[in-house]
Amino acid sequence: MTTPPQGPWVPLDRARQRTSIKWRLYPADVLPVWVAEMDVDPAGPVVTAIDAAVRAGDLGYATGAGYAEAVAGFAAERWGWDGLDPARTAIVPDVMLGAVEMLKLVTGPGDTVVINPPVYPPFYGFLRNLGRPVREAPLGSDGRLDLDALAGAFTAARAGGRRAAYLLCSPHNPTGTVHTADELAAVAELTGRHGVRVVVDEIHAPMTASGVTFVPYLSVPGADDGLTLISGSKGWNLAGLKAALAVAGPAAAADLARLPEEVGHGVNHLGVIAHTAAFRDGGDWLDTVRSAVDANRRLLADLLAAQLPQVRYPPGKATFLAWLDCRALGLGDDPAAAFLDRGRVALSAGGDFGSGGAGHARLNLAAAPETITEAVRRMAASLG
């Protein structure tokens, strides 16, 4: 008999019945703790909202009704920010496609986009497909923004008078770093001085550790010409119900107004309904999951200390992802490949996250404690 999960987690045998990429990319003998999907049942308000829409036959094209207002209410309550004006928003299909469209508004083909590796791998792929060269400004050794590296990257990106943009991940994936108000204000000052436009991926903003407050980029001084994107996708596990919100600072409203109407045609109507319900009514569910992720951070640290003490794991303050420094294990640049081959456990390969990712792997903490325990057991056993 399967041991009942602790907290909100569904047991492994039931999770394996799912047909999403997390559970279908690898053979059944592989334990998947890689892609950012959570092993949870959906929030009750989300289920209720979707069920009501389906029963009413409300399955047409999306309008985005209520989404911006729900996010604005959440931001005011959770982050103390009442500056999200629904009049300066637009519904986009998802955060990455939204980021692409925001970058199209403020840069042209061949203009450079600065990013902070190690960072979410699709940043590289989407920018390449967009025709925007990437310039890296790696995080510091402490996992925080390196302002000197940013200044150098901005200077190089603006060479010849070209436009440039900075695609910021906040909170940062994969490290779980939560950028402070002072850091973000410094970014705003620096980008303003260099004439670089800022686009911010804030998809993990709802999923901070207990007691940690997220700082919206548009809430800091000097960020009025910024463009940000947020979604309920990570906080409420809604990746399969795509919808996101683009938000413009006051000085970027005219830029957002140039967004082609066609961009909104790819928005999922049920996605808008689900995300709106999550931000408006899903706070209690979110807090339960956040507390459970906190417990899993502590569990992982204990398991690694006991079974893989050479792995360095500084627990992050946000996301449900763990960034593991496995360089001392002697597994080369891609320890995830070794863990998969020898231990039949799937993690995300650190090299995919750009500079600084070699020798690392990313592990998904949003699972039952039994799953995390088994993942570490397999990793340790693979070294024998």
* pLDDT number for residue 2: 42
Longest dimension (CA), the chain: 67
Q: What is the CA radius of gyration of the chain?
A: 20
Helix/strand/coil for 246: strand
211 burial class (0-12, 13-18, 19+ CB within 10 angstroms)?
exposed
Instruction: Name every residue whose Cβ is closer than 8 Å to that of residue 278 and which is 6 or more positions away in sequence.
Output: 43, 45, 46, 70, 232, 235, 236, 238, 286
Paired tokens of 160: 């010849």
* pLDDT number for residue 7: 76
With vertex at residue 275, the alpha carbon angle to CA 271 and CA 276, rounded to the nearest 5 degrees, is: 115
* pLDDT number for residue 1: 33
User: What are residue 136's DSSP bridge partners?
Assistant: 115
Residue 366 near residue 318, CB atoms below 8 Å: no
DSSP E strands, the chain: 31-32, 89-92, 112-115, 134-136, 164-169, 197-201, 227-230, 244-248, 321-325, 345-346, 348-349, 360-364
Tens of pLDDT, residues 252-291: 999 999 999 999 999 999 999 999 999 999 999 999 999 9
- Lowest average pLDDT, out of 1-10, 47-56, 134-143, goes to 1-10
* pLDDT number for residue 384: 84
Give all domains of the chain, ordered by start, each with its CATH number.
12-43+284-381 (3.90.1150.10), 59-281 (3.40.640.10)
Q: What is the mean pLDDT of residues 286-314?
A: 98
Paired tokens of 276: 């709106």
pLDDT exceeds cutoff 60 at 5: no
Q: What is the mean pLDDT of residues 9-28?
A: 97
- Supply the mean pLDDT for the chain: 97
- pTM for the model stands at 0.97
Q: What is the mean pLDDT of residues 181-193?
A: 98
Nearest to 324 by CA among 295, 301, 341, 292: 301
Q: What is the mean pLDDT of residues 319-331?
A: 98
Q: What is the mean pLDDT of residues 173-181?
A: 98
Tens of pLDDT, residues 197-221: 999 999 999 999 999 999 999 999 9
Proportion of the chain above pLDDT 90, given as a percent: 98
* pLDDT number for residue 6: 61
